[in-house]
Amino acid sequence: MEKYGFIYIWRDKKYNRYYIGMHWGFEEDGYICSSTWMTQAYKIRSHDFKRRIIERVYTNRKDLYEREKYWLSFINDHEIKIRYYNLSKNVNDTWLNEDSKLNRREKISKNTKEAMYRSDVREKYLKGLENRDNKSSDPAVREKRKQTMLSNGKNKGKITVRDASDNIFHVTSDDPRWISGEVVSASKGMKRSPISESHRQKIKASGVLASINNKKVSCVHCGIIGNPGNIGRYHNDRCKSK
């Protein structure tokens, strides 16, 4: 089955609020919407939301784009952000060429996920799993795997060491050679490349605080955007607009 486009409208029965959007794919592929505000509310209380398909477009994405503009035009300006989760009546057309921005691996992953929603493809996939041999029939491979597993169990709790002749082996912590210093840790004395300043800054920027400060979420009630800490402390269930 080929993909197609459709215009949908979500209704939040708790606040009698709506969202109009479009999607190119399949109606049961799990897509919710592109609104961060509505998606956050949906994750918290999905039982309050119900979607209705108001139009289907089988031609191309450009026609779907034009039809969404048509349906959004019915929203009154004063209803934006109040009666609707839509933050504006403008349509973002960058998604028309979204496939061209994907690399080869991303395209394969995207196409595979979409194909798995087809009943015939999924049926063949599940049938193949039943007949798949997950264990190698090659005796040499099985013996090598066996020895690796035995070795891992045998050396569990031991220390990997190196002697004066650079022979590497395992000993226990009470081994006289380890206690006397005759053997040392296998990694001792190994030179490591110095960390460049640019790499050091990347490590610093990828810390927990950086990830928290860079992440933005919105209040499910008033739509204000901020970091998770402030939104959780002053908005959502504690929001004055609730």
Mean pLDDT to the nearest integer, 33-62 = 93
Length of the chain: 242
Mean pLDDT to the nearest integer, 167-176 = 86
Of 116-125, 205-214, 231-240, give the range with the top mean pLDDT: 231-240
Mean pLDDT to the nearest integer, 8-15 = 96
Task: Give me the DSSP letters along 94-145.
Answer: GGGGGGGGS-HHHHHHHHHHHHTTSHHHHHHHHHHHHH---S---HHHHHHH
Tens digits of residue pLDDT in 64-96: 999 999 999 999 999 999 999 999 988 766 555
What integer pLDDT is reported at residue 101 of this predicted model? 58
What integer pLDDT is reported at residue 111 of this predicted model? 73
Q: What percent of the chain shows pLDDT beyond 90? A: 29
Residue with tokens 């209705």: 52
What integer pLDDT is reported at residue 47 of this predicted model? 95
Tens digits of residue pLDDT in 207-218: 655 666 667 888
Q: What is each CA distance from 106 to 109, 111, 195, in whole angstroms?
A: 5, 9, 31
The Cβ-side half-sphere exposure at 177, using a 13 Å CA radius, reads: 14
Domains and CATH numbers, the chain: 4-101 (3.40.1440.10), 146-185 (no CATH), 197-238 (no CATH)
How far apart (Å, rounded) are the C-alpha atoms in residues 238 and 155?
Answer: 54
Mean pLDDT to the nearest integer, 164-175 = 85
Q: Report the 3 state secondary structure along 219-232.
A: CCCCCCEECHHHHH
Largest CA distance in the chain: 84
Given a cut of 70, whether residue 197 has pLDDT beyond it is yes
This prediction has a pTM of 0.43
How far apart (Å, rounded) are the C-alpha atoms in residues 12 and 43?
Answer: 12
Amino acid letter, residue 101: K
